[in-house]
Amino acid sequence: MNDMRDQFIKAMSSAGTTVYVVTTDGTAGQHGVTVSAMSSVSADMDDPTLLVCIHHLSPAADAIMENKAFAVNMLRSDQSQISNTFAGRIAEGDSKFDHVDWHKLETGVPILTDALVSFDCTLYQKERVGTHYIFIGGVVGIHHPEEGDALVYSKRSYGRFQQIA
Amino acid sequence: MNDMRDQFIKAMSSAGTTVYVVTTDGTAGQHGVTVSAMSSVSADMDDPTLLVCIHHLSPAADAIMENKAFAVNMLRSDQSQISNTFAGRIAEGDSKFDHVDWHKLETGVPILTDALVSFDCTLYQKERVGTHYIFIGGVVGIHHPEEGDALVYSKRSYGRFQQIA
């Protein structure tokens, strides 16, 4: 029992966070994982930068370090099923990518075709902090097919952004 | 004109991000700035960790590096005025902190009394990426007074999380 840990998780759950699927492919193979710990970093570089935090035991973390590329796919408000698919473990011989349409941009990692926005990134820097890696990506391609609402997670529920009138 | 930069900013604006005021105090003085680039990092350390990204030209960035402590205050959905106050420049002789109630926890930096949640942090690590610093904080205290809804920003508007039925 760690009181500070439990307090921290409970307090953080009050935030509304957009839901992303982070994907990678290359010599370490194809992996994907659902992530809400994502942030824009800097827009004013030659390549804009963003970051995602991924648990060090996730197979996707090792794969990103070897593949040196990843994509950050922002889910739409009606794609909670895709969030669940990439958050879960799957049966042997199955692939999470069988359940989605995807294509490639610059780096060759999977871009989810129906995502609201996808950022195609090369691995720019990584930092290990506690249980997680912070992966900083340089954005080399953006797939932004059309307008729509992002999938947001808060207080252990899925939802969307509602503007205050 | 930088097409990738403009595309990046537009694509990122589709996300829903919770609004925070990051505060600091110490030998470098009292500063506060509105930030939406925040993420949980690791819950399973002795001290849980989080990160915020702040522009290198913000007076708060220099102050956090010298003070070695900061707080991350999650705003409530009815506190867009506080977000605007800490996002803006202020008149000489005025202080952003005159407009809010605040107190201190462990580190001595300002905790906004009416925030939904406040994380009191010591500076654990910093990284400069492009125009921004990533400040990683070790959470040494949490102020979580009561339930409520967080202030969320998306598509250049304030709002809140709406659960999907």
Which tens digit of pLDDT belongs to each residue from B52-75?
Answer: 999 999 999 999 999 999 999 999
Q: What is the pTM of this model?
A: 0.96
pLDDT above 90 (res B90): no
Q: How far apart are CA A124 and CA A139, in angstroms?
A: 9
Tokens of A157: 């529920």
Question: Going by CATH, does the domain composed of A17-75+83-155 fall within 2.30.110.10?
Answer: yes
Residue of A nearest to B80 (CA): A164
Tokens of B123: 């500076």
In this complex, do A53 and B38 lie within 8 Å of one another by their Cβ atoms? Answer: no
Please report which confidence band the pLDDT of residue A91 belongs to, taking 50, 70 and 90 as the band edges: low
Dump pLDDT digits (tens) for B112-164.
Answer: 999 999 999 999 999 999 999 999 999 999 999 878 999 999 999 999 999 99
Segments making up each domain of chain B, as ranges: 17-75+83-155
Q: How far is CA B114 from CA A155, B33, B142, in A?
A: 19, 16, 13
**Which ipTM score applies to this complex?**
0.95
**B159 shares contact with chain A (CB less than 8 Å):** yes
Q: How far apart are CA B155 and CA B16, in angstroms?
A: 8
- pLDDT attached to residue B18: 98
In this complex, do B160 and A16 lie within 8 Å of one another by their Cβ atoms? Answer: yes
Out of A17, A41, A129, the one facing B125 most closely (by C-beta) is: A129
In this complex, do A129 and B12 lie within 8 Å of one another by their Cβ atoms? Answer: no
- pLDDT attached to residue A92: 63
Mean pLDDT of chain B: 94
Within the 82-101 window of chain B, which residues sit less than 8 Å (CB to CB) from chain A? Answer: none
**A22 shares contact with chain B (CB less than 8 Å):** no
Residues of B in contact with A75 (CB under 8 A): none
**Cα radius of gyration rounded to whole Å, chain B:** 16
- pLDDT attached to residue A146: 75
- pLDDT attached to residue B2: 65
Helix (H) or strand (E) holding A86: helix A80-87
Q: How far apart are CA A122 and CA A107, in angstroms?
A: 7
**B122 shares contact with chain A (CB less than 8 Å):** no
Dump pLDDT digits (tens) for A134-158.
Answer: 999 999 999 998 789 999 999 999 9
Contact between A25 and A81 (Cβ < 8 Å): no
Mean pLDDT of chain A: 94
